[in-house]
Amino acid sequence: MKEQLCQGERRLCGESIFKTGKAMTDPNKVIINLALFGMTQSGKSSAGNILLGSTDFHSSFAPCSVTTCCTLRRSCHLHSFMRRGGREVTLQVQVLDTPGYPHSRLSKKHVKQEVKEALAHHFGQEGLHLALLVQRADVPFCGQEVTDPVQMIQELLGHAWMNYTAILFTHAEKIEEAGFTEDKYLHEASDTLTTLLNSIQHKYIFQYKKGKSLNEQRMKILERIMEFIKKNCYQVLTFK
C-alpha cells in the first residue's frame, strides 16, 4: 500500500523557520522547500531553474509533455540573502519539479500517484513551504485544462491547500508588450482566476525574462516567496 497523504499539517506559527525540521539546525541558514505544478509547457522546469540559479531541470519547447517524473534539486547557498537578529542568513532552495497535467502521455491517476509519492518522500518530515502553480501569463486562465492542476493541488495538499499555494505567472513580458500593467491584467482576468486569487490570499508572482538577468529574476522571485512564507508564519505542510 502506497504512503497516504496526511491531511493535517504541522503548525509552526510563532516558531522560527530557522529552528524547525532537520534542515533548520543552523541558525544562520534557512532551507525552503518548494513544489512546482502546472500545465504542460507552462514553464515549470524553466521556472525551477531560475529558482535554483542553474540548469538542473531539463527544459525545452516540445509539442508534447517533456517532464515525466518528479525530480528534486537543491540550489547552491545564497550567502547573505537576508538578515535576522543582526546576523546575515544563508538561503538554500529545494525545488520539486512535477509532470505537467494534463499530460500528453500519462494518465491523471499516474501523475497524481507520482507526485503524491514524491511529496511524501522528499517533504514528508521537513515539510513543504509553498506550492507554486505555474501559469503562462499569455494564456487565458479559463476552461477545464487550466483548472486541472488546481484540482490536483487541492487533492494532494488537502484542506489547507490555500495557505500553501501561490501562482507564478511565466512569460510576463508578454503582458507588457500588449500594453498591460500587472494591475490591469489582474483586473481584467477571468472570473476563474479572480476566484482562485481570492482563495489563496492574492499570493502571486510575475516572472519576466526580457531585459532582466537570470540573477535579477531569481532574487526578485525568491524575495517574494519569502514574503509569502513569512506571512504564513513559517508554517510547513507535512506528508506521510
Average pLDDT for residues 207-215, to the nearest whole number? Answer: 79
The CATH number given to whatever domain includes residue 109 is 3.40.50.300
The verdict on residue 17 lying in a domain is no
The verdict on residue 35 lying in a domain is yes
Tell me the pLDDT tens digit for each residue of 107-138. Answer: 888 889 999 999 999 999 899 999 999 999 99
CB 199 within 8 A of CB 147: no
Single-letter code of the amino acid located at 70: C
The verdict on residue 237 lying in a domain is no
The verdict on residue 5 lying in a domain is no
Q: Which residues form the domain of 136?
A: 29-232
The verdict on residue 56 lying in a domain is yes
Tell me the pLDDT tens digit for each residue of 95-107. Answer: 999 998 876 677 8
Closest CA to 130 of 29, 48, 213, 46: 48
The verdict on residue 2 lying in a domain is no
Domain count, the chain: 1
Q: Report which secondary-structure segment, H or E, holds 87.
A: strand 87-97
CB 91 within 8 A of CB 225: no
Average pLDDT for residues 140-145, to the nearest whole number? Answer: 83
| pLDDT at residue 165 tops 90 | yes
The verdict on residue 15 lying in a domain is no
pLDDT of residue 92: 94
Single-letter code of the amino acid located at 148: D
pLDDT of residue 198: 97
Least confident segment among 8-17, 18-27, 57-66, 119-128: 8-17
Cell numbers placing 231: 506571512
pLDDT of residue 189: 93
